[in-house]
Amino acid sequence: MTSYGFSTCGTTGSSPGVGTTERFDNTANTHTTRTSATARNQYLAGYSFGGYGFSSCGYTTVAVGTTERFDDTANTHTARLDATARRWLAGYSFGGYGFSTCGWTTTYVGTTERFDNTANTHTARTAATARYQLTGYSFGNFGFSTCGVISGIVGTTERFDDTANTHTARTAATVRYLLGGYSFGGYGFTACGYANVNPGVGTTQRFDDATNTHTARAVATARYELAGYSFGGYGFSTCGWTTADPGVGTTERFDDTANTHTARTAATARYRLAGYSFDIPFVPTPPLVSMRQLSNGQLPSTIGDVYAVPSGTSAIIKSITLVNTNTTTETVNLYILKLNGTVRRIIPKDVTLYPGYLLVSDDNYTLGAFDKIQGSTTTASKVDFVVSGVEES
């Protein structure tokens, strides 16, 4: 799968706005023109699930509920059932559904709706705290709405649980509106926005739901009425308004580990747009070398090497098999250790492996020269491992 970010619709200064849709490839650092969506602006909602992107609601010369599904492979926007018409709203997705929340009709509202693409229906859910010009993101099987305007600027943050159909108040973010939102790594992020001073602010905050805290991160380029999306372990902010039409195409990649915003190629300048991201399936090239066993042995009791990629070689790990040969339960962990020192878990922490039981991790991992798979267990030499995959020189 290849991941991309998408920006869609917006305005360059007049209604009904534009339907401009672009696909951003972070590796190539390019924005590629796609078929235009139905033109609309004023902060429509964007979300993605099931390998599609969706845009919903917005403004032409009136508030609309227009909802469209974007298929990047076919390069088409397909009309879906209209949502409740409103503008200046937020969107997020989780659990195989898309959600639109809050916005403006003739006043600010908390209207929240769940979109089912299979049934092509928008189902009313419990209303959030009424506000508009806010943003949204999702992680941990919850949706979050944050900031916006009520009678003044607010940092109101709420967690939406679709199963319970409830919005739960969380700690408020720094007050601003017309901001961007995205999520990755188990956190939500807000970026930029307006606090009644041009050209806006670059305020970036990381929201941790477990600790219920917003933590300040490095400041992005100041702008507002922008869009956000995330993929590949990064967050992206794109386009927006600073001081004049047609807005800006400024695109930045946020790395939370390094706490940096890195400039990327600018998108087509516009503002009051929406963003989303999703994976594009592809047909893989057959490997140059057939899959084979790359290593085998027994896990140590402290973290140690399970497999190391040889010099001048890359590898695709296809499976890692663990078998508990002990008569008692073992607690196992597996990691990827990159050459640059970055460590990432590849199975949940402290997996319980009962006596005689088998664990197979069949996710694919691409490794470079000197990258390693590492592991540990409770008792040394009691858990057998076999690593299988492909090596290419």
For residue 78, the model assigns a pLDDT of 98
> Which pLDDT score, from 0 to 100, does residue 32 have?
98
| Interacting residues of 307 by C-beta distance below 8 A, sequence separation 6+ | 294, 295, 315, 317, 372, 373, 387
Q: In which residue are the tokens 């040969």 written?
A: 325
What's the N-to-C CA distance of the chain in angstroms?
A: 23
According to DSSP, the β-strands at 2-8 and 180-184 are unpaired
Mean pLDDT of 267-283: 86
CA distance 69 to 85: 17
Mean pLDDT of 256-260: 97
Mean pLDDT, rounded, of the chain: 94
| Mean pLDDT, residues 216-245 | 96
285: DSSP letter = P
pLDDT for res 284: 57
Query: Sheet containing 76-80: which strands, arranged edge to edge?
Result: 45-49, 52-59, 63-71, 76-80
Q: Give the closest residue to 127 by CA, choosing from 111, 103, 148, 149.
A: 111
Average pLDDT value for residue range 282-299: 74
Nearest CA among 384, 381, 317 for reference residue 357: 384
**pLDDT surpasses 80 at 12:** yes
Mean pLDDT of 51-65: 96
Burial of 298 (0-12, 13-18, 19+ CB in 10 A): middle
Specify the pLDDT at position 198: 85
- Alpha-carbon distance 34 to 268, whole Å? 12
Instruction: Report which of 4, 3, 9, 2 is spatially closest to residue 239, judged by C-alpha positions.
Output: 9
Fold topology of 2-280:
Neuraminidase (2.120.10)
Give the domain ranges of the chain: 2-280, 292-392
Structure tokens at 65: 């509920």
Note the pLDDT of residue 255: 97
Using pLDDT thresholds of 50, 70 and 90, give the confidence band for residue 283. low
Give me the pLDDT at residue 352, please. 94
pLDDT value at 346 more than 60: yes
- Please, what's the b/e burial string for 167-206 (b: 16 or more CB within 10 A of its CB; e: otherwise)? beebeebbbbbbbbbbbbeebbbbbbbbeeeebbbbbbbb
Q: What is the pLDDT of residue 286?
A: 53
pLDDT band at 362 (very low <50, low <70, confident <90, very high): confident
List C-alpha distances in Å: 175 to 147, 154, 191, 386.
Answer: 6, 5, 12, 53
**Token pair recorded at residue 123:** 């189902």
Q: Structure pTM?
A: 0.72
pLDDT for position 1: 59
Q: Is it true that the peptide bond before 16 is cis, omega within 30 degrees of 0? A: yes
* Number of Cβ within a 10 Å radius of residue 338: 13
Averaged pLDDT for residues 168-196: 97
User: How much is the pLDDT for 105?
Assistant: 97
Copy the structure tokens of residue 110.
């908390």
pLDDT in tens, 103-158: 999 999 999 999 999 999 999 999 999 999 999 999 999 999 999 999 999 999 99
What confidence score (pLDDT) does residue 129 get? 98
Separation CA 10–CA 18 (nearest Å): 6
Confidence of residue 282 (pLDDT cuts 50, 70, 90): low
The token pair at 131 is 């506000």
Condensed to tens digits (0 to 9), the pLDDT of residues 305-324 reads 999 999 999 999 999 999 99
Q: Round to whole Å and give the CA distance between 261 and 253.
A: 5
DSSP 104: E
Supply angle C-alpha 343, 345, 347, rounded to 5: 165
The architecture that CATH gives domain 292-392 is Sandwich (2.60)
Task: Please tell me if the domain spanning 2-280 has the same topology as the one spanning 292-392.
Answer: no
Percent of the chain with pLDDT over 90: 91
Q: What is the pLDDT of residue 289?
A: 54
Give the largest CA-CA distance in the chain.
Answer: 73
- Write down the pLDDT at residue 281: 63
